[in-house]
Amino acid sequence: MTETTTPAREAFLAGERLEDVALFLATDYVDDDRLTGYGEAVDDGVVIVVDGERGRNAFKAATGTDAMGFARSAMEHEGIIDGDLTGGTCPEEPPADEDEGDDEHGVQFIFAFAEAQNEEVGGIYADGDVVHAYAQCRCGTAYSDRWTV
């Protein structure tokens, strides 16, 4: 599948939809073709960008997990989440040269929101809007990443 980003995901990633959340649900985690009607089909799943409340409810319905509780637990481990919100690298995943080719690692789902620039807070928040992203790996590890838009 050739991936093209929808205007909703582009706007979210540009920090233009601060009231919304983005969800990525991997096909091997949630196999429901109806989801593509609510979002954007990507190679390994679907990305949905919706207003915050609906997004948190959709996340709970799809994963059985409270979005903000999941985010708090994922903050315990820093990993790498792809800037397009369609994958990542688990902090428990061995380096590529040590990888034995098993399928233990891979993103099952991602929950993300963007926060407006806040110079008073400092750090990366002073540099621009910040995307906060939280992922769940197949191995069971939840991890987080954040970056400036």
Query: Do 110 and 85 meet the contact criterion of CB atoms below 8 Å apart?
Result: yes
What pLDDT does residue 30 have?
80
Dihedral-angle region of residue 102 (phi above 0 means left; psi in -120 to 50 means alpha; beta otherwise):
beta
Q: Which residues pair with 145 in a beta bridge?
A: 133
What pLDDT does residue 145 have?
98
As a whole number of angstroms, the distance between CA 102 and CA 142 comes to: 19
98-143 pLDDT, tens per residue? 655 557 889 999 999 999 999 999 999 999 999 999 999 999 999 9
Helical (H) or strand (E) element with 67: helix 67-74
Contacts of 23 (CB under 8 A, 6+ apart): 39, 47, 48, 49, 50, 55, 58, 59, 62, 109, 110, 111, 112
Residue 35 predicted with pLDDT over 90 = no
What pLDDT does residue 1 have?
42
Largest CA distance in the chain: 46
What pLDDT does residue 36 have?
66
The whole-number average pLDDT for the span 3-11 is: 82
What pLDDT does residue 2 have?
41
47-71 pLDDT, tens per residue? 999 999 898 998 998 899 999 999 9
